[in-house]
Chains A and B, each alone.
Chain A
Amino acid sequence: MSLSARMIIVLTFVGLLSGSFLATVDLLTKERIELNRQREIEEAILQVVPGTHSSQKLYEEKDLTVYGGKDKKGILIGFAIQASGIGFQGKITLLLGTNPSIKKINSLKVIDQKETPGLGAKINDRESFLKFWDNKDCSNLLTLRKPAVKTQEELGYSEINTVTGATISSEAVLNLVNSSLNRLRQLEKEGELSSEEQDVN
């Protein structure tokens, strides 16, 4: 057999074998990976819209997905907005829970961030940052308290505490929240948040 024929046969054989192996592995793991992804979203929604019994995706565009959380009777009890924006070092992805009238933030959760560990990454820390978002009134535009204060009581009505030493990361989160809230209100006005689309569960 000539050398080139042998080369072609060997490479084809190796490729075919590898391909069929991978197809099998994909078949075995695909369902589970998809399930993990879904469970992750569901658990996150439950955290920001407490009491959610079932959730469904209401609207999706680039860098913004809106989920509706419903209780056992099927009544809408809140929105969960997944939004992404640029932080100090990379993309920040947040999940924000609001009440149905979009006047109050239930809580905020950081899904993904690449901020500096020890500084900007504290936007994912409850004590330094996230707790200030709990039950925050958001009928007015939210602002940042600079320099940071120690306790919740020192903050103004629509003020959020800054993470010390990470103004840019804190501002990125604040702007992302404000712009997603505006977009959510706009979408609601336009009637885009009807619950016709498919269930997440």
Chain B
Amino acid sequence: MSTRSIGQEFVKGLWDDNPVFRQLLGLCPTLAVTGWVINGLAMGLATSFVLIFSSLVVSSIKKFIPNQVRIASYIVIIATFVTIADRFMAAFFPLISKSLGPYIPLIVVNCIILGRQEAFSSKNSVGRSFIDALGMSSGFVLALLILSSIREVLGVGTFLGLQVMGTWFKPWIIMILPPGAFLTLGILLGIALHIERKTKARK
């Protein structure tokens, strides 16, 4: 169905169709867990795991699923991988699992994942769906990393827990509080839109 090259299929998730900055999907975890880089990274990787495996499964069994029950089937498949991710993190990364709390199980309602199954995996080959999921995941991880880096550095003066700002720096506590998430996302969306307009005008 898709006319893009494999490379384009991957790259579109990073910028043109970036799930956070361009599609505005998955904003709940984007806002909620990006106070610390480690949480943003863990959330990004967990979501990537779910997205990639759901896309693989959905694209390989798409022919057998009747149209009427496709959403129900997708959700069961997605929920299965979310539960696997949740249990895996609780078993091997108990500290991160504890600080992310309910947001790991909530990946199940992340619109990026169901959205990609509906819009892509249910219509494309396994290979293409894998590349698409890989691209979208990278775009999501990238967005969470940018957001959480800005918030952690300005909010507490650290990056991944390491002090990066000098003693002169007075942390902007608001940045790691919920308003900081909205401020940072708003400014980043503005910048993304600005760049988009500039590149369009040049064409």
Shortest beta-carbon distance from A12 to chain B in Å: 11
Instruction: Judge whether B91 and A3 touch: CB under 8 Å.
Output: no
Residues of B within 8 A of A3 (CB): 66, 68
A29 contacts chain B at the CB level, 8 A cutoff: yes
Shortest beta-carbon distance from B40 to chain A in Å: 15
A187 contacts chain B at the CB level, 8 A cutoff: no
Shortest beta-carbon distance from A23 to chain B in Å: 11
Contacts A25-B84, A118-B171 given: A11-B69 contact, CB under 8 Å? yes
Instruction: Judge whether B90 and A22 touch: CB under 8 Å.
Output: no
Residues of A within 8 A of B176 (CB): 117-118
Q: Which of A10, A11, A18, A119 contacts B80 (CB 8 A)?
A: A18
Q: Which of B65, B79, B90, B155 contacts A10 (CB 8 A)?
A: B65
B110 contacts chain A at the CB level, 8 A cutoff: no
Q: With A and B bound together, what is the CA distance between A32 and B176 in angstroms?
A: 32
Type the 1/0 row for B61-90, where 1 means its CB is closer than 8 Å to any CB of A: 000111011001100110110011001101
Instruction: Judge whether A10 and B66 touch: CB under 8 Å.
Output: yes
B94 contacts chain A at the CB level, 8 A cutoff: yes
Instruction: Judge whether B84 and A21 touch: CB under 8 Å.
Output: yes
Q: With A and B bound together, what is the CA distance between A119 and B173 in angstroms?
A: 9
Instruction: Judge whether B94 and A36 touch: CB under 8 Å.
Output: yes
How many chain A residues have a CB neighbour from B under 8 Å? Answer: 22
Contacts A18-B80, A117-B35 given: A11-B90 contact, CB under 8 Å? no
Instruction: Judge whether A33 and B90 touch: CB under 8 Å.
Output: yes
B92 contacts chain A at the CB level, 8 A cutoff: yes
Shortest beta-carbon distance from A27 to chain B in Å: 10
Q: With A and B bound together, what is the CA distance between A172 and B173 in angstroms?
A: 22
Per the 8 Å Cβ criterion, residues 106-161 of B in contact with A are: 155-156
Q: With A and B bound together, what is the CA distance between A30 and B37 in angstroms?
A: 28
B177 contacts chain A at the CB level, 8 A cutoff: yes
Residues of B within 8 A of A40 (CB): 94
Residues of B within 8 A of A150 (CB): none
Q: With A and B bound together, what is the CA distance between A11 and B64 in angstroms?
A: 10
Q: With A and B bound together, what is the CA distance between A40 and B97 in angstroms?
A: 13
Instruction: Judge whether B69 and A21 touch: CB under 8 Å.
Output: no
Residues of B within 8 A of A (CB): 35, 64-66, 68-69, 72-73, 76-77, 79-80, 83-84, 87-88, 90-92, 94, 155-156, 171, 173, 176-177
Residues of A within 8 A of B (CB): 3, 6-7, 10-11, 14-15, 18, 21-22, 25-26, 29, 32-33, 36-37, 40, 116-119
A10-B64, A18-B80, A32-B91 provided; 10 other pairs, C-beta below 8 A?
Answer: A10-B73, A14-B76, A22-B84, A29-B87, A33-B94, A37-B94, A117-B177, A118-B171, A118-B176, A118-B177
